[in-house]
Each structure stands twice: as structure tokens, then as C-alpha cells.
Amino acid sequence: MGRNYDRLLFEYKKLWNNRALVGNDSQAILFLTIERDLRDELTHPRVRKQPLEKFYLAIKRINESIIEDKDKSALIQIYINLLEKTQNG
């Protein structure tokens, strides 16, 4: 069963409502945004956190949110996959 990336991007925007995420390819936008989050690219280089710490903070935020459990699970799985990709180069 395929994921509804439009819906997941919509739910992701609820978690980080100060981020402007625009474009036509919801999957690409979501993946790129999560990768940037894991690398902490929006933070000054001297105070950036490591990917595992960013992962922990994101999972905690997702878990504590009011979005539906199936969307939480899908977002967490995407974070896991992208963290593994980040860690493996």
C-alpha cells in the first residue's frame, strides 16, 4: 500500500508550522525537509546537534502530537529510513 505523501506533508507542517514547504512533489519535499532536519541545517554550524539527537527530538515531537497514529507511524518510519541513509553516507 502506497503512502499518501500529500497527507503526510500536511501533517508534518502541523508539527513544524513555521516552515514554508511549497512545491508539487510532496514526497520529495517531505524527504528533503526531514533530511535537512536530521542534519540540523537550519541551525548555526556552531550549535548544530548530531543526527541522532535531532532524530530523538523529532520522534518525541511526533509521538506527543495530536495527529493520527497511522500518520505518526508513517512519519517515524520515514525518519528511521532517512536517518539510516544519513548514517550510511
In this prediction, the residues of the chain whose per-residue pLDDT falls under 70 are 1-2, 89
Phi-psi region of 23 (alpha: psi -120 to 50; beta: other; left: phi over 0): left
Surface-to-core class of residue 48, CB atoms within 10 Å of its CB (0-12 exposed, 13-18 middle, 19+ buried): middle
CA distance 89 to 16: 26
pLDDT of residue 2: 63
State the pLDDT at residue 80: 98
- For the chain, the domains span 5-87
Angle (nearest 5°) at CA 12 between 78 and 30:
55
User: What was the pLDDT predicted at 50?
Assistant: 95
- In 1-89, which ranges are continuous DSSP H helix? 5-15, 26-38, 51-63, 69-87
